Amino acid sequence: MPEHLIQHLNKHIQLTEEEKELIRSKVVLKTVKKKELLLRAGDVCLMQNFIAKGCFRLFIINEKGAEQTLQFSIEDWWITDYMSFSTQKASHFYIQAIENSEVISISKSDLDQLNIAIPPLERYFRIVLQKSFAASQMRIMFLFTMSAEERYHHFKNAQPDFVRRVPQYMLASYLDFSAEFLSKIRAGKV
Amino acid sequence: MPEHLIQHLNKHIQLTEEEKELIRSKVVLKTVKKKELLLRAGDVCLMQNFIAKGCFRLFIINEKGAEQTLQFSIEDWWITDYMSFSTQKASHFYIQAIENSEVISISKSDLDQLNIAIPPLERYFRIVLQKSFAASQMRIMFLFTMSAEERYHHFKNAQPDFVRRVPQYMLASYLDFSAEFLSKIRAGKV
DNA sequence: GTGATTTCTTGAAGTAGTTCAAGTTTTTTT
DNA sequence: AAAAAAACTTGAACTACTTCAAGAAATCAC
């Protein structure tokens, strides 16, 4: 139901009943089964996706055929390839459900209209993106300054939910080391 | 002069004369000499900074005392620690001029007021941050999928200006390898 | 509840990059 | 134009992590 998104927005901005109705008229609801893809490399990222329920990851397949996870996202967060979404060019990435999930999606043209019609909505996205970019800067800092083992322990503390919900081999690739090495870290064999 | 910022904004959004005047009344101009700091770790990032002239970097000093550059920025871009700026908590980062530079700065409270008073300005920042976050996602992808040598050649192609204007040891740390290794890559000794 | 699939573990061998130390070149300052 | 400071280079020794291969454990599907 779009109400999940409306309620989420209501926590951050004030919306009139007409504005809510306008948003409801533009969103698309999807049920996505575990392992299903919301986006595949080569396709254009047509939709910005809000996760109403479940868990997703954004990953790339490198030239050796190995998957590298760049981002995890759970309920009340957005997951989209912003590069492909804003330029409407082919994406490098895959977006995949890690659990059975429900998403609320909006196309670029609809979102552009909504942002112009509802300035507080544009404000909401400005703030979300500011936080996302800040988090991304911090992530690069952690990648640069911590060893593999430090990154694992730091992430486990900071995001225990993800560690619970996500297979270890995906977590290892997100932290930029091999699945085997994570296994050894956890066993204390390093 | 604040006109540099106004002209830049004018390329992206339409502003009335009163809106321009409002912006002019809030900005602070600074001349920053090469090597001078705009922000140091432990301080709160009070200002969002637009570079009217020159070149900056954002870096961290790790626990071994080594500097790691996380970001470069030149004319017509912004450089700020968004995490510290939005939370108004102590920063982990330093922001330093790489050349003699001129910046146009706005405090958080002034920027909040401007964003509310001028919806197109908030739109401009939403788009800037969307691009920044997208670029940051791509950067993590490059860090994950390319070797040190590939990262160097890719960056040299994509951003030749930076390679010209920035000392090699800063570039090496931005690409996440040692200055010595970059020297060997350039000499073809690897 | 059994078979099939997916995920996790372990050790041994290998390597992409680091660190250190000393010298050289380039740029800046006066 | 000289002196000082900053930036770059080189080789040798080292190490944090990868890769491979094979087996064990957990989870899923019917």
Cα separation, A68 vs A65, in Å, equals 10
Share of chain A above pLDDT 70, in %: 99
Same domain, A71 and A157: no
Same domain, B120 and B150: no
CATH code for the domain in which residue A79 is found: 2.60.120.10
The residue type found at B28 is V
A137 located within any domain: no
Same domain, B25 and B92: yes
Same domain, A156 and A107: no
Same domain, B164 and B105: no
Summarize the confidence of residues B131-143 as an average pLDDT: 97
The SS3 call for residue A48 is strand
Q: How many domains does one find in chain A? A: 2
* B3-12: pLDDT as tens digits: 999 999 999 9
Cα separation, B71 vs B58, in Å, equals 5
Same domain, A46 and A124: yes
A38 located within any domain: yes
Same domain, A161 and A110: no
Cα separation, A35 vs B97, in Å, equals 47
DSSP-derived pairing of the beta strands B67-74 and B37-39: unpaired
* A118-133: pLDDT as tens digits: 999 999 999 999 999 9
B59, B69, B82, B171: which to substitute to probe chain A, counting the most A Cβ within 10 Å? B82
Q: Find the Cα–Cα–Cα–Cα dihedral A14, B128, A48, A161, rounded to 10°.
A: -80
CB atoms A133 and B138 under 8 Å = no
- The partner residue sitting opposite A136, judged by closest CB among B116, B125, B133, is B133
Same domain, B118 and B159: no
* A107-161: pLDDT as tens digits: 999 999 999 999 999 999 999 999 999 999 999 999 999 999 999 999 999 999 8
Same domain, B177 and B121: no
- Which residue in chain B is spatially nearest to A85 when comparing CA positions? B134
B73 located within any domain: yes
* Cα A34 off chain centre by: 15
Share of chain A above pLDDT 90, in %: 95
For helices B108-117 and B119-145, the axis angle rounded to 10 degrees is 120
> A190 or A67: whose pLDDT is higher?
A67
The residue type found at A103 is V
At residue A2, does pLDDT exceed 90? no
A85 located within any domain: yes
- Which residue in chain A is spatially nearest to B133 when comparing CA positions? A133
Same domain, B126 and B34: yes
A100 located within any domain: yes
* A8-43: pLDDT as tens digits: 999 999 999 999 999 999 999 999 999 999 999 999
Long-range contacts, B143-147 (Cβ 8 Å, 24+): B143/A140, B143/A143, B143/A176, B143/B176, B144/A60, B144/A62, B144/A68, B144/A70, B144/A173, B144/A176, B145/A60, B145/A62, B145/A63, B145/A68
B63 located within any domain: yes
Same domain, B6 and B83: yes
At residue B110, does pLDDT exceed 90? yes
pTM of the model: 0.95
What sign has the CA pseudo-torsion A45, B130, A135, A151?
Answer: positive
* B25-72: pLDDT as tens digits: 999 999 999 999 999 999 999 999 999 999 999 999 998 889 999 999
Summarize the confidence of residues A88-116 as an average pLDDT: 97
Domain range for B151 is 146-190
Work out the pLDDT band at B182, boundaries 50, 70, 90: very high
- By the CB < 8 Å criterion, does A92 face chain B? yes
Share of chain B above pLDDT 70, in %: 99
User: Domain boundary residue among A107, A131, A155?
Assistant: A131
Same domain, B127 and B168: no
Concatenated DSSP letters of A10-37: HHHS---HHHHHHHHHH-EEEEE-TT-E
Cα separation, A83 vs A63, in Å, equals 21
pLDDT of residue B2: 81
